[in-house]
Structure 1
């Protein structure tokens, strides 16, 4: 499901227009991104938790040449599904 499809589904379930639903989705994703940039965890009870995970530097290989390379440390966003989400597809 892509953002326009999600906005349409939300509009169908509420009294909102598709444009208004899309604005709300954008506002939510902007706030999640801003909180993640600040290093905060974002917990949506019943859905899941977004958290910042740190990856340590490691050795890897160039897939084209097989030459060893050094992959630098980085941060990424992880997601852990909540119980209600897990139960939805069991």
Structure 2
């Protein structure tokens, strides 16, 4: 599903214009990314939880040369699907 298709679906379901749906989606994305970037969790009931996950530094291998190299510690976004979302995707509800 593309952003355009998401906006069309949102506008139709909420009976609003696509411009308003675009503003709402943009606000949601900004709120979620900003909150997760600060290290806080965002839980959307029925959808799931977005959170910041830390990855420790580790030793890896350069695939071209096979040489060992250090991979720096980093933070990545994580998502855990809610039970209702999992059930719907698996066809159980």
- TM, length-normalised to structure 1: 0.94
In structure 1, the partner of 2:32 is 32
| C-alpha distance in structure 2 between counterparts of 1:71 and 1:18, whole Å | 43
Runs of 4+ deviating beyond 4 Å = none
1:20 shift after superposition: 1.1
Q: Deviations over 1:3-51 (max 9, x none)?
A: 2110011112121111110110000000001101211000011110011
1:74 shift after superposition: 0.5
Work out the number of aligned pairs and report it: 90
RMSD: 0.9
Q: Deviations over 1:25-83 (max 9, x none)?
A: 00000000110121100001111001111100001111222221100000111100001
1:2 shift after superposition: 2.0
Unaligned runs of 5+ in 2: none
In structure 2, the partner of 1:63 is 63
In structure 2, the partner of 1:88 is 88
In structure 2, the partner of 1:4 is 4
Unaligned runs of 5+ in 1: none
